[in-house]
């Protein structure tokens, strides 16, 4: 269930799998969630309802590259953290989406990206992990992305230099690869 999330400056939400125990905080906190997948949204609504935080969570459906839509979804308030999990590699206009979320950030706000970890260099023959990612790209990610928008599709093999180029084009001054060990994902702070 990939998607982007924007957190208000007061929110204390633990990132992780969509389980009820990960949604907690005081009554003055708010959280905005967005995802393009209908089933993912339905699952998230059930989790939010079970956690009894429906009054503090707003769901929005839209294009992450549409800054006006994002601003409306966040009520026009600046946000301190935007997370993009398992979604950047599927976006048709990733640099535009990053520019839009950059425009939402409060002073000293950040974007946390968790997405596929592609090898930094193309090698042949590729290892099993990279071959799996190339297969997912060819069979799902690239066709799905180009069907929605023919912009700048990347696919599942997401390299650090690619994310850095998108972040630079979006106006971010830097990109930090976070020291988080994971077999499939790489984490970035913009």
| pLDDT average, residue stretch 11-34 | 39
What does the pLDDT read at residue 167? 97
pLDDT above 60 for 170: yes
| pLDDT average, residue stretch 70-94 | 83
What does the pLDDT read at residue 112? 93
Indicate the pTM of the whole model.
0.76
Question: What are the structural domain ranges in the chain?
Answer: 3-189
Phi, psi of 33 (to 5 degrees): -120, 145
pLDDT above 50 for 25: no
Measuring CA to CA, how many Å separate 165 from each of 79, 134, 190?
23, 21, 12
| 103 strand-pairing partners | none
Task: Provide the terminal-to-terminal Cα distance of the chain, rounded to the nearest Å.
Answer: 22
What does the pLDDT read at residue 48? 78
Q: How many residues does the chain have?
A: 190
Confidence band (pLDDT; 50, 70, 90) for 37?
low
Phi, psi of 148 (to 5 degrees): -85, -40
The tokens 């230099």 sit on which residue? Answer: 161
Sheet with 105-116, strands from edge to edge, namely: 57-60, 31-34, 3-7, 79-85, 105-116, 185-189, 176-177
Matching CATH number, 3-189, of 3.40.225.10, 3.40.50.1100, 3.40.50.1000, 3.40.50.150: 3.40.50.150
Question: Quick check: bond before 125 cis, omega within 30?
Answer: yes
13-27, 110-124, 138-152: which is most confident: 110-124
What does the pLDDT read at residue 113? 93
| pLDDT average, residue stretch 8-18 | 33
pLDDT > 70: percent of the chain: 77
Measuring CA to CA, how many Å separate 125 from each of 122, 131, 143, 178?
9, 9, 24, 28
160-169 helix and 94-102 helix, angle to the nearest 10 degrees: 50
């Amino acid at each position: 269930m990939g998607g982007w999330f924007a957190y208000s400056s007061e929110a204390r939400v633990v990132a992780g799998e969509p389980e009820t125990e990960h949604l907690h905080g005081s009554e003055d906190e708010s959280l905005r969630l967005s995802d393009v997948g209908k089933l993912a949204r339905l699952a998230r609504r059930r989790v939010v309802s079970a956690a009894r935080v429906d009054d503090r969570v707003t769901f929005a459906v839209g294009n992450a590259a549409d800054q006006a839509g994002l601003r409306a979804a966040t009520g026009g308030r600046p946000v301190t953290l935007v997370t993009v999990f398992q979604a950047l590699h599927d976006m048709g206009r990733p640099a535009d989406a990053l520019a839009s979320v950059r425009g939402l950030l409060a002073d000293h706000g950040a974007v946390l990206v968790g997405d596929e970890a592609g090898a930094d260099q193309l090698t042949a023959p590729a290892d099993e992990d990279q071959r799996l990612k190339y297969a997912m790209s060819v069979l799902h990610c690239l066709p799905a992305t180009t069907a929605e928008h023919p912009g700048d599709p990347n696919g599942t093999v997401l390299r650090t230099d690619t994310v850095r180029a998108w972040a630079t084009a979006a106006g971010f001054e830097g990109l930090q690869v976070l020291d988080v060990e994971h077999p499939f994902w790489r984490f970035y702070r913009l």
